């Protein structure tokens, strides 16, 4: 039986369309003070939101629109509709801090005041391949607010690729995305068997064969998906100090940096390039993800605890019964702030405004993020590493270390710190284009 065709013309482009390279963009957060104005704003925005039809073709500039639970309340959605959203979405990301292990330095009480208080109602995201088109499309979006009292901009966060296609810790990122069934494109080499569309988009069967419950009414939920928005600040000084403490030469430091992630900074995977970087491999989308761990069962190439092996263990033997396919997220990572500099070692460098904002997209984004935070990020048990945590996005306790398997005995590098600190986050629902129009025409 062939999988159901996904209604691409109904789904917002950002769900499937890849980030351009280079990329420029903004995240804009709005507050709805007046429900009618909120409807009108969505009605005006809807025609400007791209669908995912032909998502594999490069596009020059597009926006996506998503709404938080507080936003749906502010828009006056009826109670039975509000109640049809999953609990974690209703209470919001901050209230799920325990389940998300957002504790200590990542505790919501330490977040930027913008987040976690029910203020962010609508999240608009703009992506573009050029600075000029990016500015034009953001201006277009803001133009829709003209003469509209009752919706206001809370914050604008610009982002963009850093020199050489790198993120805030100096790595090429965003390489490994889950492949999905029924979306009209064959998986890239190494992406694995396509995952059922219902894991990522509401209204289709998931990996269990059953569709996930949708928010009601049907027009609101179908072809929509959830977005976990998380803003991290990178502590570049701490990261560089750690590398210097564990590597006397640049080569030694780059080796440790590669071991932490499982890829060289160029994106070349350690599984395919274990001893030295291979920038041409890193740059080639048909080769840079084309591997599994069958030949690396001891983690001597890619350590078990490295970031990419945690986030997608592929065929790694895990200690717990796990279906790797049901814990994946589509990631739209966006880097903001000052570019990475390997020579910045000061504590001041930790406080510079720079880092990454992620959109984590899935039909059950809340449950998946909680799973990942509990099991694959702030834990090591699933992969036989006890309490070791993800060295890149984990929240580290005093005395944290990272294990590098090698012959004859493993090496442990000490002094791992929380290199990326959570500055805030929200859950949004990214409705279909029909749902956006329905919300725009909504009569209270």
Interface residue list for another protein (CB under 8 A) = 99, 207-210, 212-213, 318-323, 325-326, 367, 370-371, 374-375, 381-382, 384, 386
Neighbours of 135 (CB within 10 A): 16
99 CB burial (10 A radius; 0-12, 13-18, 19+)? middle
Shortest gap between Cβ of 306 and another protein (angstroms)? 19
* Nearer Cβ to another protein (323/348): 323
Minimum separation from the CB atom of position 92 to another protein (A): 18
Beta partners for residue 25, in sequence order: 127, 159
Q: Which is nearer to another protein, 151 or 383 (CB)?
A: 383
Q: Which is nearer to another protein, 333 or 384 (CB)?
A: 384
Number of neighbouring beta carbons within 10 Å of residue 179: 17
Whether the CB-CB separation of 198 and 413 falls below 8 Å is answered with no
Residues 64, 70, 76, 78: is their CA dihedral positive or negative? positive
Q: Which is nearer to another protein, 168 or 368 (CB)?
A: 368
The least CB distance from residue 144 to another protein, in Å, is 37
As measured in angstroms, the least distance from the Cβ of 193 to another protein is 13
- The 3-class SS string of the chain reads CCCCCCCHHHCEHHHHCCCCCCCEEEEEEEEECCHHHHHHHHHHHHHHECECCCCCCCCCEEEEEEECHHHHHHCCCCHHHHHCCCHHHHHCCHHHHHHHCCCHHHCHHHCCCCCCCCCCCEEEEEEECCHHHHHHHHHHHHHCCCCCCCEEEEEEEEEECECCCECCCCCCCCCCCCCECCCCCCCCCCCCCCECHHHCCCCCECCCCCECCCCCCHHHHCCCEEEEEEEEEECHHHHHHHHHHCCCCHHHHHHHHHHHHCECCCCCECCCCCCCCCHHHHHCCCCCCCCCCCCCCCCCCCCCCCHHHHHCCCCCCCCCCCCHHHHCCEEEEEEEECCCCCCCCCCHHHCCCEEEEEEEEECCHHHHHHHHHHHHHCCCHHHCCCCCCCCCCCCCCCCCEEEECCCCCCEEEECCCCCEEEEEEEEEEECCHHHHHHHHCCCC
- For another protein, which is the closer residue by CB, 371 or 401? 371
**Shortest Cβ 209–another protein spacing (Å):** 7
> CB 416 → another protein: shortest distance, Å?
20
> Which residue lies nearer to another protein by CB, 348 or 398?
398
Pick 307 or 364: Cβ nearer another protein: 364
The residue length of the chain stands at 444
Which CB sits closer to another protein, 331 or 364? 364
Minimum CB separation from another protein for residue 128, in Å?
36
Q: How far is the CB of 304 from another protein (least distance, A)?
A: 12
Measured from the CB atom, the residue of 110 and 317 that comes closer to another protein is 317
Min dist CB 363 to another protein, Å, is 12
**219 or 324, CB closer to another protein?**
324
Tokens of 112: 């930027």
Q: Which is nearer to another protein, 117 or 325 (CB)?
A: 325
Rounded least distance, CB 378 to another protein, Å = 12
Cβ atoms 354, 338 nearer than 8 A: yes
Smallest separation, CB 413 to another protein (Å): 20
């Amino acid at each position: 039986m062939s999988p159901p065709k996904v209604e691409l013309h109904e789904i917002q482009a950002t769900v499937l369309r890849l980030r351009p390279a280079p990329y420029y963009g903004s995240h804009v957060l709005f507050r709805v003070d007046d429900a009618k104005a909120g409807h009108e704003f969505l009605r005006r925005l809807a025609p400007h939101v791209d669908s995912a039809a032909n998502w594999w073709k490069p596009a020059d500039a597009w926006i996506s629109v998503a709404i938080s639970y507080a936003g749906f309340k502010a828009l006056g959605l009826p109670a039975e509709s509000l109640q049809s959203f999953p609990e974690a979405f209703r209470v919001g990301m901050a209230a799920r801090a325990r389940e998300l292990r957002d504790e200590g330095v990542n505790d919501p009480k330490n977040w930027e005041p913008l987040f976690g208080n029910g203020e962010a109602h609508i999240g608009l995201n703009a992506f573009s391949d050029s600075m000029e088109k990016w500015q034009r499309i953001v201006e277009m979006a803001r133009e829709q607010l003209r003469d509209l009292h009752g919706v206001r901009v809370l914050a604008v966060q610009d982002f963009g690729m850093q020199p050489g296609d790198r993120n805030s810790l100096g790595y090429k990122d965003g390489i490994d995305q889950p492949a999905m069934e029924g979306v009209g494109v064959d998986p890239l080499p190494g992406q694995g068997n396509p995952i059922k569309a219902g894991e990522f988009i509401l209204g289709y069967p998931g990996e269990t064969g059953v569709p996930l419950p949708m928010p009601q009414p049907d027009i609101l939920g179908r072809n929509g998906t959830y977005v976990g928005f998380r803003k991290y600040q990178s502590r570049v000084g701490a990261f560089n100090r750690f590398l210097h403490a564990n590597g006397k030469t640049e080569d030694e430091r780059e080796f440790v940096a590669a071991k932490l992630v499982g890829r060289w900074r160029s994106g070349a995977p350690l599984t395919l390039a274990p001893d030295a970087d291979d920038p041409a491999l890193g740059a080639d989308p048909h080769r840079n993800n084309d591997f599994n761990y069958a030949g690396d069962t001891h983690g001597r190439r890619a350590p078990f605890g490295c970031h990419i092996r945690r986030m997608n263990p592929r065929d790694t033997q895990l200690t717990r019964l796990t279906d790797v396919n049901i814990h994946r997220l589509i990631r739209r990572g966006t880097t903001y702030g000052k570019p990475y500099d390997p020579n910045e070692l000061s504590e001041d460098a930790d406080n510079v405004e720079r880092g990454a904002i992620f959109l984590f997209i899935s039909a059950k984004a809340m449950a998946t993020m909680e799973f990942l935070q509990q099991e694959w990020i702030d834990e090591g048990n699933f992969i036989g590493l006890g309490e070791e945590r993800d060295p890149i996005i984990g929240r580290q306790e005093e005395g944290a270390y990272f294990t590098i398997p090698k012959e004859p005995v493993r090496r442990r590098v000490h002094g791992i710190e929380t290199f990326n600190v959570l500055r805030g986050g929200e859950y949004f629902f990214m409705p279909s284009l029909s749902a956006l129009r329905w919300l725009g025409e909504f009569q209270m």
